[in-house]
Amino acid sequence: MAQYTPMIQQYLQVKEQYKDTFLFFRLGDFYEMFFDDALLASKELEITLTSRDGGGEERIPMCGIPFHSSANYIKNLIEKGYKVAICEQVEDPKQAKGVVRREVIQVITPGTVMEGELLDEKENNFIASLTPLDDERFVVAYNDLSTGENSVSFIRDGFDSVLSELFNRPVKEIVVPSDLQETWAEMLTQRLNVTISQEDSVDIPDESKELVQNLKQKELITGFARLFQYLARTQKRAMTHLQPVQYIELSQYMKLDMYSKRNLELTETIRKKGKEGSLLWVLDKTVTAMGARMLKKWLDRPLLSTTEMERRHQQVEGLLEQYFEREALREALKEVYDLERLSGRVAYGNVNARDLIQLKKSLHQIPEIIQVLQDFQQEELAQLADTINPLESLKEILEKSIAETPPLSIKEGDIIKDGYHEQLDQYRDASRNGKQWIAELERKEREATGIKSLKVGFNKVFGYYIEVTKANLHLIPEGRYERKQTLSNAERFITPELKEKESLILESEEKSVELEYEIFIDIREQVKTFIPELQKLAEQMSELDVLQSFAVVSDENRYTRPSFTNGHELHIENGRHPVVEQVMKDDHYVPNDVRMDENRDILLITGPNMAGKSTYMRQLALIVIMGQVGCFVPADRAELPVFDQIFTRIGAADDLVAGQSTFMVEMLEAKHALTKATENSLILLDEIGRGTSTYDGMSLAQAIVEYIHNHIHAKTLFSTHYHELTSLSDSLERLSNVHVKAEEHDGNVVFLHKIQDGAADESYGIHVAKLAELPSPLIDRAYEILNQFEHSESSRVPSANEEEQLDFFAFKEPAQKKQETENSKSVSTAEKTIMDEIKGLNMLNMTPMEAMNTLFAIQQKLNK
């Protein structure tokens, strides 16, 4: 350290405390970075890397960004998962003895951003903390600093459940103890793609004990305290908008593991990772940012309480029945700004006058919303009006104080209305009168001197002055003015009276701006006292927005109100996939029934690829989720049990990050369902066992079906290409076969997308290959091989000496084929091995698609 200059020593001392952040070190009008920070920042931000002499033997790497444009650079780093420590000068350079004192005033991290440009207005920005109690039990706490909401939950069934829980929330950063198991830390980073931070302090200060007043168990308080201490350490300011911690009992909500949420595409699609094409995309007709965020929370946590579900459905029905009142409510809500985040900005101290105008405009809409609610016939909607506090006193404060079109800055004046503060009015009066006097002085001096071009001007260096061009200097009476400045074509003068007025005007303006700032801070403190009421109002407006969104989408898409049973009966008439029918638009969507009573737990679904088996399965899950979040559902009628969990295994997806094959992922997801499901769960398994050999796959598939039937008794949809499994309906009394209907016309297959009872009679695999436009010779050859398979008397492939030998090398042109036949007398060792492999194939137990895949693999080997 001693070898460096005092300023670089100061930088290194601060950097030692913030090793995992970019340190933005304020030097004049720039934030500078040095050493490794400079090397990395220059690459990430694409800015010029320079160097400077720091007193050591070598020059120090250095890069910098202008202070006034730092927001975009910070945003860039935060979006890439980095943290930024803002180190400011906290001492007047004129009074500094030596190096100006600097301190970190805030650490900005992915989970603690507050500025609007860093936040997605329709999504929460959660930071979470993880506190392990043992290998099976964990405490997870959440905070959204921008809205002030806090929550905490127990997880009692292992680390996989921790991953699923964190995956279900838009978490940007996770705070963990420094001694967290390394394997767990790696899984958090790889699976969730979040920033990991460390905090070991788990104490709650006395002044913040009210935040944990709702928590009874010490472990929960400790779990939240870790998160609170991290926030306090990084933000370095009062966070008075933080709401009391809510304990979320996860057993009160439907469990959706990370696999199911991904497979069902609830909030984003698997391929594009975007909202369009997801269930959220269909249901989101919200008109406020806070409503959009609440809708996403409801989708993350479907209800188990039939009472709460019925309450939501009742309110949606009330909104649905009165179109004009619903539209009036929707229009009023459009004028309500983001009350949650406005409250956060007030408490955080970064609110400006324009934000308060948004708050005032929002409060102006509340009486209208109350009036509209009173016009609804549905009792609960009308009663809701009585629970809404319009905050008239806050609206009155803002109405009297804040100018209608204030500037963005709160330190430049013109933000407080005339008449609000007597002293401010006096300063303004003095300033305005002084300026009027200046204008009058210019008129009088022109008349007195006869110089029409004479003018009274102002600049920050000389103040007010009288300017006369050199051509008119001879017209000035002797001794009238005092010379102040000479220009190339004019002279500037002052008078004692002008200087006196200048002093009065400038003093008034300066004091006016200072006083306005003080008044604004006082108003902000007054608004702070209303934060709990504002947060309550925000919650009510958010819920109203989600309910009207459900009503709008139900009206537009012909959804119906579901009913819930106390048993296990499930009856859906003409159910539809909510997303697919939207994507198809004008095309006719084929609806389907689902009938599963007390004696029908498993539907074994067979039928060709592309016929709609997966859509049918997803359709059921999405209808269940929509019903349990409080929305109407896409069906003519839906009678549903309340499902506690949904498990899915739909589609193939290698987990390359974890080094797992498709089949391993398939088995892990199946294991998760089989070990966690109850008789009140819904299980969707699509073509289990296809990732291994035919016998292995079919054996596993049958064993899984039997295990679910005999031990779990959960409602299950199981699709398969193993037609042999359809015979299970003879031995498993609660299993029924259904299939997706398809018809063949003139050699072409037509998928009817209609589910019917019974097993499918054909797979149509080659037809699907034809639809996929595989080469015509390949399709013809596949039909030829299939025909030979179907007429073969045994599973043995005919030998080379038999007339009906299967010619697996028939893809060549005739001339090539003839030449190859002539050369077949000397078969190579490699070819002999392949022919032995062919002889060992059990063709009768292969589906046509498997046969084609095998054929293709053999061709690949021969080409090598």
Task: Provide the 10 A C-beta neighbour count for residue 836.
Answer: 9
Strand partners, 31: 26, 65
Q: What are phi and psi of 307, to 5 degrees?
A: -60, -45
Q: What are phi and psi of 157, to 5 degrees?
A: -130, 45
Q: Alpha-carbon distance 89 to 77, whole Å? A: 22
C-alpha triplet 536, 540, 542: angle, nearest 5°: 115
Amino acid at position 243, single letter: Q
What token pair was written down for 109? 């991290």
CA 28 to chain centre: 37
CB 30 within 8 A of CB 52: no
Task: Provide the 10 A C-beta neighbour count for residue 864.
Answer: 6
Helix (H, G, I), strand (E, B) or coil at 749: strand
Find where tokens 């090539």 sit.
816
Residue 857 is assigned to a ligand binding site: no
Residue 297 is assigned to a ligand binding site: no
Amino acid at position 643, single letter: F
Residue 584 is assigned to a ligand binding site: no
Helix (H, G, I), strand (E, B) or coil at 604: strand
Residues 6 or more apart whose CB falls under 8 angstroms from that of 149 comprise 124, 142, 143, 243, 246, 340
Task: Provide the 10 A C-beta neighbour count for residue 708.
Answer: 25
Task: Provide the 10 A C-beta neighbour count for residue 578.
Answer: 24
Find where tokens 């608004």 sit.
527
Burial of 566 (0-12, 13-18, 19+ CB in 10 A): exposed
User: H/E/C letters for each residue in 112-169?
Assistant: CCCCHHHCCCCCCCEEEEEEECCCCCEEEEEEECCCCEEEEEEECCCHHHHHHHHHCC
Amino acid at position 704, single letter: I
Burial of 829 (0-12, 13-18, 19+ CB in 10 A): exposed
Q: Alpha-carbon distance 683 to 203, whole Å? A: 43
Q: Alpha-carbon distance 629 to 812, whole Å? A: 59
Q: Alpha-carbon distance 422 to 811, whole Å? A: 96
Residue 614 is assigned to a ligand binding site: yes
Residue 638 is assigned to a ligand binding site: no
Residue 736 is assigned to a ligand binding site: no
- For the CA atoms of 737, 740, 741, 744, the dihedral, rounded to the nearest 10 degrees, stands at -120
Q: Alpha-carbon distance 123 to 73, whole Å? A: 22
Residue 158 is assigned to a ligand binding site: no
Residue ranges of alpha helices (H) inside 606-717 are: 613-629, 662-676, 694-707
Strand 637-640, strand 570-575: pairing: antiparallel
CB 647 within 8 A of CB 676: yes
Residue 613 is assigned to a ligand binding site: yes
Binding-site residue numbers are 607-614
Binding-site residue numbers for ATP are 607-614
